[in-house]
Structure 1
Amino acid sequence: MNFVSIDFETANEKRHSPCAIGIVVANETGIVDEFYSLINPLMAFSSFNTRVHGIVEADVIDAPTFTELWPKFESYLTDSIVIAHNASFDMSVLRKTLDHYNLTYPNMEYLCTVEISKNVWPDLMNHRLNTVATHHNILFEHHHALEDARVAALILIEAIREHNAEHLDGFLEVRSMKKGRVYERGYVTPKINARKRRKKMNF
């Protein structure tokens, strides 16, 4: 079962300012496709954001805009299972940018690998992307959109493998997790079964 891992970097504090996107298509056995692009956000960059990801306005002058890239993005996302590390951020970037340009939301399901990591490896000191990557001996360039998307995909693959699950849905059933969903002008967040959460808290 294929899933799509995404990561956005933004030009400033506005969620509708994506300046880079990484997309990785993977399944339970590994990565099968990748896509990366800078994005011209048509607005100024914040020095804070630039310190995080290293992208400056000069880098995106000739880059396509979000609306120009959206048909490509949409083909990856529509009717897919999409994952992201701290998905609340990436999903809000997606929704706010689609709202900003008055574009239609894709119908898709999604998962957060932060929540998956907390569920599967609760004893880690934290569940930031670099911490979970280090736990699995994954080396990468943090805050590069494609590398971050790739690591999120590898984290989910590791979680599935640790449970000897044949597919993603089987893994989610074992961990009592439910996918979130995005649909036209709305969304539902991923869930962990309440009884499973209470059981974990008792340990």
Structure 2
Amino acid sequence: MQPFSQTEPIIVLDFETTGLYPAKGDRVIEIGAVLLREQKIVDRFQSLVNPGFFVSREIETITGITNAMLSEAPPALEVMGQFVKFLDSHPLVAHNASFDRSFLEAELDHLGKKRPLNFGCTLQIARRLYPDVINYKLETLIRYKNIPVNSQFHRALADAEMAALLWFKIIEDLKSQFGFENITFDLMKKIGKLNKDLAFDLLLKEAEDSRTDQIGTTGNLFG
């Protein structure tokens, strides 16, 4: 099997948060991210984040992140400053990327750094590639594809690592099932936007095109 055609690193990230809506004041409480190069995880970033207020008992239960843990964590501005350096100008991937993108944009606003973001989404690609899955939660897809689980779901670094393994598996399936050769980051984004009802035929067409196109680059995170 040919390696994934990737000329620049990609970062897969995950946030644990105080709620669902950054526009209503919810904040990030944990960041996890992995740097991918040539289908390998080559670096990691993880930190708890003190949001400046107490989180609900529900969030403590879901994530296992307690208010006691967060009280000792560094503040958001400090962590985000370090995280921006880790992100560099790389493209990003997340599972349900619209959620993570909204929180990253909000945290960058707090940091005073407004920058356009370049995101790919494993959830949206999985909807096109695996139409018969009962749901598209990360845990469901990990088990559906028989990817070994050796970490706790709903912790940021563990979820980022598992999303990265899902990203690798999606690439493998695109090659074996449809005959893709040159798979670029832009192509992965395009697949995530295909018409779901026509996805199979469109994927065959995209695969045929990919066999004749030259390898592109992944593009930059920040414009």
TM-score by length of 2: 0.74
| Equivalent residue, structure 2, for 1:182 | none
CA deviation profile, 1:133-174 (whole Å, cap 9, x unmatched): 10222313110100000111111111112223566417x53x
| Equivalent residue, structure 2, for 1:87 | 97
| Equivalent residue, structure 2, for 1:42 | 52
Looking at structure 2, the residues matched to 132 and 169 of structure 1 have their Cα atoms a distance apart, in angstroms, of 22
The change in CA–CA distance for 1:107 and 1:76 in structure 2 (over 3 A counts) is: farther
Higher relative contact order (CA 8 A, sep 6+): 2
SS across alignment from 1:131: helix
2:12–2:161 CA contact under 8 A, matched in 1: yes
| Equivalent residue, structure 1, for 2:132 | 123
- The yes-or-no answer on 1:159 pairing with 2:159 is no
Looking at structure 1, the residues matched to 45 and 163 of structure 2 have their Cα atoms a distance apart, in angstroms, of 14
- The yes-or-no answer on 1:17 pairing with 2:27 is yes
How much is the aligned-residue C-alpha RMSD, in angstroms? 2.4
Looking at structure 2, the residues matched to 166 and 29 of structure 1 have their Cα atoms a distance apart, in angstroms, of 15
Quick one: which amino acid aligns to residue 169 of structure 1? Answer: T
The change in CA–CA distance for 1:82 and 1:9 in structure 2 (over 3 A counts) is: same
Quick one: which amino acid aligns to residue 117 of structure 2? Answer: M
Which of 91, 109, 112 is the matching residue for 2:118? 109
TM-score by length of 1: 0.80
Looking at structure 2, the residues matched to 144 and 102 of structure 1 have their Cα atoms a distance apart, in angstroms, of 23
SS across alignment from 2:98: helix
Which blocks of at least 5 consecutive residues in structure 1 are unaligned?
180-190
Which of 152, 169, 182 is the matching residue for 2:184? 169
2:45–2:83 CA contact under 8 A, matched in 1: no
Moved more, 120-129 or 69-78: 69-78
CA deviation profile, 1:83-119 (whole Å, cap 9, x unmatched): 11111111111122233x2521344311111101111
2:80–2:107 CA contact under 8 A, matched in 1: no
1:13–1:46 CA contact under 8 A, matched in 2: no
| Equivalent residue, structure 2, for 1:178 | 190
CA deviation profile, 1:25-78 (whole Å, cap 9, x unmatched): 113422111111111111121112111101111102221111001222112334
* Percent of paired sites with the same residue: 30
1:12–1:44 CA contact under 8 A, matched in 2: no
Q: State the structure with more CA Rg.
A: 2
Quick one: which amino acid aligns to residue 123 of structure 1? Answer: D
Count of residues paired in the alignment = 185
SS across alignment from 2:118: strand
Which blocks of at least 5 consecutive residues in structure 2 are unaligned?
1-5, 202-223
Looking at structure 1, the residues matched to 170 and 35 of structure 2 have their Cα atoms a distance apart, in angstroms, of 17
